[in-house]
Amino acid sequence: MTVDESLKNLEVLEGIISYHFINRSLLLQAMTHTSYLNENPGWPVSHYERFEFLGDTVLQMIITEMLFKQYPHDAEGNLSVKRSVIVRKNMLSDIAKVLNLERFILIGNSEKNQIGSLSQSLLSDFVESLIASIYIDGGYEPAINFCRRYFQKLIDDVEQLQEEFNYKSNLQNFTQTNYHVLPEYRILEEKGPEHRKKYTVAVYVNGEEVAVGRGFSKKQAERKAARKALEKYKKD
């Protein structure tokens, strides 16, 4: 893909995120993987990794501010736990899928052939890189506007999300104590487009299906299955 073709393609991403760059080369760098530079030595920008480093800090700062304002009675420790739930890699990768971000990431053919679809970790890194490019181009205000658009629902639901993250560990403790085995999660179904795929996961204990959960990521589906399994065991 030529530079002009890449920049044209990134106009679509600008439309998705409702932010138009003063300097679109910043967005181009934010979406360029190291492997792409290796295969295209004349590429006019560097890779995303410095942006990802900055974006991690900017995101932490913005989420901290949003939580601080929305939960005025929470102590520092509670706010810190809430923030850690929201900025987990699986949360960021879910946002990457909503944005269909993989479509815009420039990655070398050798790397692409080796890994297939991008990992949860890599997708989350590119969300942070994108946030950094917005911050560098326009400052704090457009960066926080982006985060309000894509993270506000997570902040609204963070207490429920905290509970969900505990379900898997609670189920594991229960099955180890009562049955001396670990729960096993199996994917039953994957449906929908790559950027908005829905997973159906079953949790098994001693080879027996106990509960089924559905979600827009494997981990989300697993947490829902774990919650249903715990509820079933409590009833029994």
Active site residue 128: yes
**What is the rounded CA–CA span in Å between residue 214 and residue 188?**
10
**What is the rounded CA–CA span in Å between residue 94 and residue 220?**
10
**What is the rounded CA–CA span in Å between residue 28 and residue 32?**
6
Alpha-carbon distance values, 77 to 21, 22, 68, 106, 161 (Å): 37, 39, 12, 39, 16
Both tokens of 223, joined, read 């947490």
The catalytic residue among 56, 94, 137, 222 is 56
Q: Give the residue from 100, 106, 112, 234 showing the smallest Cα distance to 167.
A: 234
The catalytic residue among 94, 125, 128, 137 is 128
Both tokens of 192, joined, read 């929908």
Residues tagged active-site: 56, 128
